[in-house]
Structure 1
Amino acid sequence: MGFYYKSGSVTYFEAFATSLQELCKALRDYPLILAFGWLDIKKKYNRSVLGPFWITLYMGIVIATLGAIFGQVLHLPLREYLPFLTLGCIVWGFIASVLKESCSVFATSEGIIKQLSLSPFFYLLRLFWRNLVIFFHNLLIFPLVCVVVSCPIEIVSLLIIPGFIILCVNLFWLSIVISFLCARYRDCKQLVDAFVLILFYVSPVIWMPTALSPKSSVFILAPNPAYHLISIVRSPLLGMYPSPASWLISLVMGCLGMVFALCVFGKYRRFLSYWL
């Protein structure tokens, strides 16, 4: 039973409307989602002294190591490069974690899905909340870096709020599509892992956009959605305004992607238990 659907059974408009109603209903159960997401974190770090802050410590060590090495290799001043690298690693870690965990979000909850009538949105929102907690833990590294390299935080940093919301919308619709795709075709997990790795290398996470020539930027950065999503979150905290193109591309991608993902959810959610 693949991505096949009988003509006329459910229109895309009906699928979208049903999915939107189900999403709103799932969001009303946010206390349960928050509790289960936090329980996932506590379970993972059971009997650990630092708990989820082990991830923050690990991220801090990685950033310090990469900053010391690549700062020398790329001949960049530490005051300029270290904040850039810190935010790049933190934001990318959030993106990569959501995308990769979306591949197995339904498979790991197979027993619950087949026994309880919880909405699939419950498992996706639970995954998202869990990664949000880790993201904000890791974000504590940035103020420390700013103190070390004497990097001021300016008023433009407030633009991180709309930027981060747009990033989350894009990641959420991607998690919906990836989770359903991987539930039906298990081999897609390997494709997603490979895609995330390639996207990391072609995105300015550890290297700066200024390292590219204007001609190369047109072919590497302009069509790269990850670059625009990272930029609207990272640039404000670095005291810079993201380009209008990054705002526009990220916003349009989020709106169109969410509509597409809700249509996919509405048309194929009833097949989920059979695929598992």
Structure 2
Amino acid sequence: MTLLPSSRDWSLAARDVRKGLLDWQVWGLLALTDIRQRYTRSRIGQFWITLSMALFVGGIGVVYSALFKQEMSSYLPFLAANYVVWSTLQSIVADATTVFTSSSIYLRQEAMPRTTFVMRLILRNLITFAHNLVIVPFVFLIFAVTPSWTILMAIPGVALLVIAAFPTVMLIGAISTRFRDMPLIIQNLLQVAFFLTPVMWRPEQLGPAGNYVVGLNPFAVYLRIVSEPLYGRIPGVWTYVAAIICTLVLYAIASPFMARFRARIVYWL
């Protein structure tokens, strides 16, 4: 049995993607329902996301600014922007491990596009990102940081992040549905990636070694194209080039895999 997708596999996969993307009302409603159910009967609802993030940034910022001997007025805005973006990256990858298993009630009853649940996850995390993003201007206001026009450069960064998230969620979701050890492996890898990604430290603090740690880390690439414009820096051209290359590689791996095994996801649930 060949592992390469046939022309029929490609056709069905393309129809799945097309139909799933057009069903924006379905995945939009599912994403909003997920957010509401998470904070049902809560007094301040979804803004618990923002509050918990603000407490973390404030607590960690005070400790690590002293540990790294950084001025709090410059370190806290840096940390706030980085951690808000990192939490989104981390959440997308972690949630991808259960994107299909958590939707088994729908997939077992009706032949719904797999893309619908991928978009549900991405939109849900974008909504959470929007809530957390409120922290950044609040921190800027406290430390009298004047916003720069570079903030606009975060928009293409977010767009590229969403484009890359699509094949990532598809691939991790399918593999995690087949092999149930994958969520635990991904969880451990994310913990390691957090310390290897310049979330709480600046690349220049590592000296020449920082270029290799950051340059070879896909998480760092996507983190920088969104977070750096928020605190007034424009990422280098090679950062965008690396992000585009990573995205193309993700599609090159995920596309044939999903075309070949998309139909088996229901049987793996």
Q: In the alignment, what sits opposite 2:235?
A: 242
Are positions 1:201 and 2:180 aligned together?
no
Matched residues, number: 269
- What is the identity, as a one-letter code, of the residue corresponding to 1:271? R
Q: Which residue in the other structure is 2:29 paired with?
A: 35
In the alignment, structure 2 segments of 5+ residues that lack a partner are none
Q: 2:181 aligns with which of 160, 167, 187?
A: 187
The amino acid of 2:221's aligned partner reads: H
- Return the alpha-carbon distance in structure 2 between the equivalents of residues 64 and 242 of structure 1: 26
Name the CA distance, whole Å, in 2 between partners of 1:144 and 1:65: 15
Cα distance change on mapping 1:246 and 1:7 into 2, 3 Å: same
Q: Which moved more, 1:158-167 or 1:216-225?
A: 216-225
TM (normalized to structure 1)?
Answer: 0.93
Pick one of 83, 88, 91 that aligns with 2:85: 91
Matches within 5 A, 1:231-270: 231-270=224-263
Deviation at 1:14, TM superposition (A): 5.8
1:56–1:141 contact (8 Å) kept in structure 2: yes
Partner of 2:2: 7
Within 1, Cα distance between the matches of 2:144 and 2:11? 50
Alpha-carbon displacement from aligned partner over 1:48-69 (angstroms, at most 9, x marks no partner): 1111110110000000011111
Following TM superposition, by how much is the alpha carbon of 1:16 offset from its aligned partner in structure 2, in angstroms? 4.7
Partners of 2:119 and 2:186 in 1: how far apart? Answer: 20
In 2, the alpha carbon distance for the partners of 1:218 and 1:81 equals: 20
CA distance in 1, matches of 2:239, 2:202: 16
Q: Aligned match of 1:165 in 140, 144, 159?
A: 159
- Under a length normalisation based on structure 2, what TM-score does the superposition of the two structures give? 0.95
Percent identity, aligned pairs only?
26
Q: By how many angstroms is 1:8 displaced?
A: 8.1
What aligned pairs does 1:1-276 form with structure 2 within 5 A after superposition? 6-7=1-2, 10-11=5-6, 15-16=9-10, 18-214=12-208, 216-276=209-269
| 1:85 CA drift (Å) | 0.3
- Where 1:228 maps in the other structure, the secondary structure is helix
Aligned partner letter, 1:63: V
Shift of the alpha carbon at 1:130?
Answer: 0.9
Q: Distance in 2 between matches of 1:15 and 1:44?
A: 37
Give the superposition deviation at 1:222: 1.5
Cα pair distance change 1:146/1:10, threshold 3 Å:
same
3-state SS, counterpart of residue 221 of structure 1: helix
Q: How many Å apart are 1:206 and its aligned residue? A: 1.0
TM-align CA RMSD: 1.6
C-alpha distance in structure 1 between counterparts of 2:83 and 2:63, whole Å: 15
The DSSP-based 3-state class of the residue aligned with 2:108 is helix
Contact 1:45-1:52 within 8 A present in 2 as well: yes
- The CA distance in 1 between the partners of 2:211 and 2:147, in whole Å, is 30
Structure 1 CA distance for aligned equivalents of residues 117 and 72 of structure 2 = 41
